[in-house]
């Protein structure tokens, strides 16, 4: 008995091919098998997915991304200083300011920087899956730590600003020094000292010194350091002094600068009191030993001009330290 012609159906080769390829696609079959085999505790993988767990969208081998530990603030401050510190152009020369960091901005900036860097790497043929975090440092932390953990480890349901170092807290207090002092002493040391009451005055507590947690420079005339302090700590009780110290390892030699039209002192009890006026050297001149008014004078067991070691001990300048209270800086 002949088969009716209307029961024949033409094979859609394109659709069939597409269906076969989809069912044989390892990205689908392997992932489905893993979901079936893997258990998280006593839960199936499917149940864990309902709680937020997600499988990687790729089954390729994970390739390491480059690690670029350079502090990102330096790039931002150089190219877009007003984005790094709004109003930096209005900060007066020869001034000291107290600022506060913005962890949410830092995290957002690093996310964008890593996103664009991974896109650039892929464009240039680097074998990346774009999940790497090349830039994890915004500040130059003195303990070597990073500002953020690798971005691919973040919970997809977390909010921006909750992954940066110190998340959940306010930002760090930053001391910014700008002016000629930074040009003259580029290696100055910044620190914060707890203040204690001594009668009507506040004194620095030598046993409660906060070292910076990060530091850096902006241009040639600005130096900053961050401290694990809050505004409340700076102002509460005795508060904190913010201190600028000469770098103790940068030894300087010379004499004190005399006041204008100063005459040589008739008596000296210690070499540290000597100024250039006592040496007979004109401004801009060189110290000469022959015929020097101080030649042969002995103070504290050191004889001027006796030998090079004695001259070095006589002329070495003690490091200077200046302290300003946080309340005074904020009120100005």
**What CA–CA distance (Å, rounded) separates 35 from 49?**
9
Q: What integer is the mean pLDDT of 135-149? A: 93
pLDDT digits (tens, 9 = 90+) for 287-297: 888 888 888 88
Looking at residue 6, its pLDDT comes to 64
Task: Give the DSSP H or E segment for 244.
Answer: strand 240-245
pLDDT band at 89 (very low <50, low <70, confident <90, very high): confident
Point out which residues pair with 242 in neighbouring strands. Answer: 192, 324
216-225, 229-238, 259-268: which is most confident? 216-225
In the predicted structure, residue 1 carries a pLDDT above the cut 70: no
Give the pairing of strands 95-100 and 173-178.
antiparallel
Residue partners of 62: CB distance under 8 A and separation at least 6: 129, 131
pLDDT band at 167 (very low <50, low <70, confident <90, very high): low
Looking at residue 42, its pLDDT comes to 77
Is residue 59 classed as helix, strand or coil in its secondary structure?
coil
Looking at residue 58, its pLDDT comes to 58
């Amino acid at each position: 008995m002949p088969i009716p012609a209307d029961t024949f159906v033409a094979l859609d080769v394109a659709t069939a091919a597409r269906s076969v390829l989809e069912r044989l696609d390892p990205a689908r079959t392997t992932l489905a098998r893993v979901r079936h085999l893997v258990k998280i505790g006593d839960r199936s993988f499917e149940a864990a997915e309902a709680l937020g767990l997600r499988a990687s969208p790729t089954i390729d081998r994970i390739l390491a991304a480059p690690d670029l530990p350079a502090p990102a603030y330096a790039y931002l401050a150089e190219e877009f200083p007003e984005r790094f510190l709004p109003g930096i152009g209005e900060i007066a020369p020869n001034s000291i300011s107290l600022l506060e960091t913005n962890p949410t901005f830092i995290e957002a900036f690093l996310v964008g920087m890593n996103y664009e860097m991974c896109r650039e790497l892929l464009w240039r043929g680097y074998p990346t899956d774009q999940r790497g975090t090349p830039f994890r440092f915004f500040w130059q932390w003195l303990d070597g730590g990073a500002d953020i953990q690798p971005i691919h480890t973040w919970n997809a349901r977390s909010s921006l600003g909750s992954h940066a170092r110190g998340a959940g807290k306010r930002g760090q207090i930053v001391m910014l020094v700008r002016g000629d002092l930074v040009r003259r002493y580029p290696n100055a040391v910044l620190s914060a000292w707890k203040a204690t009451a001594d009668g009507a005055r506040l004194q620095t507590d030598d046993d409660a010194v906060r070292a910076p947690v990060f530091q850096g420079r902006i241009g040639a005339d600005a130096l900053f350091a961050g401290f694990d302090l809050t505004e409340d700590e700076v102002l509460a009780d005795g508060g904190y002094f913010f201190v600028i110290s000469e770098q103790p390892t940068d030894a300087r030699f010379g004499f004190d600068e005399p006041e204008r039209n100063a005459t040589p002192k008739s008596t000296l009890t210690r070499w540290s009191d000597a100024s250039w006026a006592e040496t007979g050297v004109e401004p801009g001149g060189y110290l000469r030993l022959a015929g020097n008014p101080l030649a042969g004078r002995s103070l504290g067991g050191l004889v001027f001009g006796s030998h090079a070691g004695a001259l070095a001990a006589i002329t070495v300048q003690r490091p200077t330290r200046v302290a300003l209270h946080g309340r005074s800086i904020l009120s100005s």
